[in-house]
A and B are shown apart, each in its own frame.
Chain A
Amino acid sequence: MRRFLSALIVLGLIMFFISTLPLIPEFGKASLSKVSRAFIDKDVNGNGGNIQYGVSKDLENGAANVVTSIVVDYRSFDTLGEVTVLFTSALGVGIILSGYKRKKFGREPNFILRVSVGILLPLILLFGAYVFIHGHLTPGGGFPGGTIIAAGILLLYLSNEEFDLSKTVKFVEGISGSLYVIVGLLGLAVSGVFLINFLPTGVVGNLFSSGIVPIIYILIGFKVGAELSGIVAELHREG
């Protein structure tokens, strides 16, 4: 009976969604909204348009990666909120699982694991750092970069029974989070607007080309890396 009713509800829901299909553009035939158009042309303040890679310079936003320019500049406030969600849940995992001790197997991890971590870890960390430093030029950014770093930290946790990073993690996430807000407040102090991009932009495609975007993405990279490592560490405990 319960299954039948649920199936009925689900069927109704799917029918509802299908009935909305005429409203949405056919797959692959979407058209750019005015907002997206302005973001791509970097034309919000009316002095952009016809961007060319490696040529256009001193735009309102210099990031070559348009998604990054939206995430970290045009809609940076969303990202602050998003980082806060992750921060809050990392904190919550810590609160809920408090009192748990690190899980111990009582024997040394595999030789291959221990040795390969030594080789792989620097590479993983370097790759993570590369991804978030070049977030405004290439696909990637603070969130993937931080996740890659957290994966490296997970390897450390697996290969060493005594390894514990929880104090450092707390410190790093606190500092990088507050620096993000402070960068926003600096904008407020410099030009009266919270989270404004107050540094000059350069030629599209150069490393130093988009003002505070790389700075914020580096902070996000550290913060996300620290938070995910914190979650990994907490979930690695047992009662």
Chain B
Amino acid sequence: MVYYISFILIGIGIYGFLTQKNLFKHLISLTIIDTAINIFIISLGYISGEEAPIYSKYTPIANFVDPLPQALVLTAIVIGVGILALGVSLLIKVYEKYGTLDVEEIVAKEGK
């Protein structure tokens, strides 16, 4: 089931990117896709009944879910944050330059 959720979220993200005219919504679509993929990665490594992959007092011996996807998702999240920050700052400048975030209006102003 979780897989379907992440596939549908990816679909929503792509649909938003293809149809929306507001640039900020493109950024939101990107975030949705990123999140969907992160959910997908995490759920791939899940083994029901097993513990989080940390040796501790309560889990002294290895009975763990797959730790590698979790490590990968950590990297993916951080990269996503970096790109989001960059995108937002670009949008601030786009708005300053064109006075709008609408794709069609920007293209019309570029053409002039």
Chain A interface residues toward B at CB < 8 A: 2-3, 5-7, 9-11, 13-14, 17-18, 21, 24-25, 27-33, 35-36, 39-41, 50-55, 64-67, 70-71, 75, 78-79, 81-83, 85-86, 88-90, 92-93, 96-97, 137-139, 143, 204-205, 224, 228, 231, 234-235, 239
Contacts and interface: CB of A to CB of B under 8 A. Distances in A.
Given A30-B66, A235-B89, A139 B18 contact: no
**Which label, helix, strand, loop or mixed, suits the secondary structure of the A interface?**
helix
A47 B88 CA distance: 48
B52 interface: yes
A52 B18 contact: no
B88 A205 contact: no
A40 B67 contact: yes
Given A2-B19, A3-B19, A40-B53, A13 B11 contact: yes
A14 B11 contact: yes
Q: Which of B56, B59, B77, B83 has the most CB atoms of chain A within a 10 A radius of its CB?
A: B56
A66 B89 contact: no
8 contacts: A28-B47, A29-B47, A53-B56, A81-B75, A86-B78, A92-B86, A138-B54, A224-B78
A9 B2 contact: no
Contacts of A228: 81
Interface in B58-80: 59-62, 64-68, 70-71, 74-75, 77-79
Contact of A96 (B14, B54, B79, B93): B93
Q: Which of B47, B85, B88, B96 has the most CB atoms of chain A within a 10 A radius of its CB?
A: B85
A27 B1 CA distance: 8
A207 to B, nearest CB: 14
Interface string B41-61: 001111110001111110111
B55 A205 contact: yes
Q: Which of B66, B71, B96 has the most CB atoms of chain A within a 10 A radius of its CB?
A: B71
Given A29-B48, A33-B66, A40-B67, A79 B7 contact: no
Nearest to B61: A52
Contacts of B93: 96-97
Contacts of A14: 7-8, 10-11
Chain B interface residue number, banded: 35 or more
Interface of B: 1-4, 7-8, 10-12, 14-15, 18-19, 43-48, 52-57, 59-62, 64-68, 70-71, 74-75, 77-79, 81-83, 85-86, 88-90, 92-93, 96
Given A71-B71, A86-B81, A92-B86, A239 B64 contact: no
Contacts of B78: 82-83, 85-86, 143, 224
A237 to B, nearest CB: 9
Contact of B15 (A7, A67, A205): A7
Contacts of A55: 60
Contacts of A6: 14-15, 18-19
A58 to B, nearest CB: 15
